[in-house]
């Protein structure tokens, strides 16, 4: 195919999860339900933390921002997919695709960095409980969140710029339900060597480094817990990390699944299935994980429910 240089009128075709017309309504209803549950769950977490003064601590401040990031992460991909399923029009313009890439990387990277920040919070709380309030003072908490956003913004803009430099062809069909950077690089007509190198470097910086920070924090936490003599003390110390550790395993586990399925398998079907978990299910599960395992959150949510009733 001839290269298509007029990016102003260029459109992509998102093939989605299935081309079977009988499955379109089922997929629409399923993903609409997932999206509504995700929004409701994260909004309730935000309202609970905002309304209860007992939850105005560093841990819940980071959870508040993680919920905001999860809402943005889901809103980047699901609404466009729902529109395509409802209208039976699978096209997405070049500008919309770049915007989706930018926000997807922004919120995905912010989730990763915030999870590393929350691991640092748990390390300070368990390993240095007497100095916890001094170490994680309000100024540092705000700085860590702003730094997370800035790192994520730079990462997203670099990805967006690299994609914008690619040359595409007419009638590009993307075997995915959103504009995923690896899929766009595969379909480009121009040389993608620089893009591949930049993607690897950014993955190391925004993926491997936060994961290494989480691993080191939990190594220190585990060492500290093992020094506690009483079994009850060990359980109480580790229970404060249970929710965060569950979210970390889900986030990085499915993220690794997306990466491996896209590199090992030539088919995009396995990558799409893993991406559904990564982009939809995890943001929906996070509020349940944190609320069901946390008495303070449950009490604050119950107060909100009582006020509404």
- Asked if residue 187 is part of any domain, the answer here is yes
- Asked if residue 96 is part of any domain, the answer here is yes
Would you state the pLDDT for residue 14?
Answer: 86
Strand, helix or coil for residue 17: coil
- Asked if residue 4 is part of any domain, the answer here is no
- Asked if residue 6 is part of any domain, the answer here is no
As for how many domains the chain has, the answer is 1
Would you state the pLDDT for residue 32?
Answer: 94
Who's near 152: CB < 8 A, 6+ residues apart? 105, 106, 107, 109, 110, 113, 206
Q: Which of 153, 166, 152 is nearest to 195 (CA)?
A: 166
- Asked if residue 5 is part of any domain, the answer here is no
- Asked if residue 303 is part of any domain, the answer here is yes
Q: Which residues pair with 11 in a beta bridge?
A: 93
User: What is the CATH classification number for the domain harbouring 19?
Assistant: 1.20.1070.10
Which regions of the chain are under pLDDT 70? Answer: 1-9, 170-171, 233, 237, 256-271, 293
Question: Is 174 in contact with 12 (CB distance < 8 Å)?
Answer: yes
- Asked if residue 3 is part of any domain, the answer here is no
- Asked if residue 292 is part of any domain, the answer here is yes
pTM of the predicted model, to two decimals? 0.88
Q: Which range of residues forms the domain containing residue 180?
A: 11-308
Would you state the pLDDT for residue 121?
Answer: 92
């Amino acid at each position: 195919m001839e290269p298509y240089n007029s990016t102003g009128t260029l459109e992509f075709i998102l093939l989605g999860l299935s081309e079977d017309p009988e499955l379109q309504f089922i997929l629409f209803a399923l993903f609409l339900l997932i999206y509504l549950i995700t929004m409701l769950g994260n909004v309730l977490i935000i309202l609970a933390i905002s309304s209860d003064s007992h939850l105005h601590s560093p841990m819940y401040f980071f959870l508040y921002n993680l919920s905001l990031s999860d809402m943005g992460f889901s809103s980047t991909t699901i609404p466009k997919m729902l529109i395509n399923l409802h209208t039976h029009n699978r096209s997405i313009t070049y500008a919309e695709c770049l915007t989706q890439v930018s926000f997807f990387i922004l919120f995905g990277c912010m989730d990763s960095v915030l999870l590393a920040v929350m691991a640092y919070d748990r390390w300070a709380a368990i390993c240095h409980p007497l100095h916890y309030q001094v170490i994680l003072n309000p100024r540092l908490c705000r700085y860590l969140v702003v730094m997370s956003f800035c790192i994520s913004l730079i990462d997203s803009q670099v990805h967006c710029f690299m994609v914008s430099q690619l040359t595409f062809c007419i009638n590009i069909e993307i075997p995915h339900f959103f504009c995923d950077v690896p899929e766009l690089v595969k379909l480009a007509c121009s040389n993608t060597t620089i893009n591949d190198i930049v993607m690897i470097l950014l993955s190391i910086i925004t993926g491997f480094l936060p994961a290494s920070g989480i691993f080191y924090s939990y190594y220190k936490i585990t060492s500290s817990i093992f020094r506690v003599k009483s079994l009850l003390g060990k359980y109480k110390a580790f229970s404060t990390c249970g929710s965060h550790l569950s979210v970390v395993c889900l986030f990085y586990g499915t993220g690794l699944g997306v990466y491996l399925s896209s590199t090992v398998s030539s088919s995009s079907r396995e990558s799409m299935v893993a991406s559904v978990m990564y982009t939809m299910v995890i943001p929906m599960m996070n509020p349940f994980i944190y609320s069901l395992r946390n008495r303070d959150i449950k009490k604050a949510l119950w107060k909100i429910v009582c006020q509404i009733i």
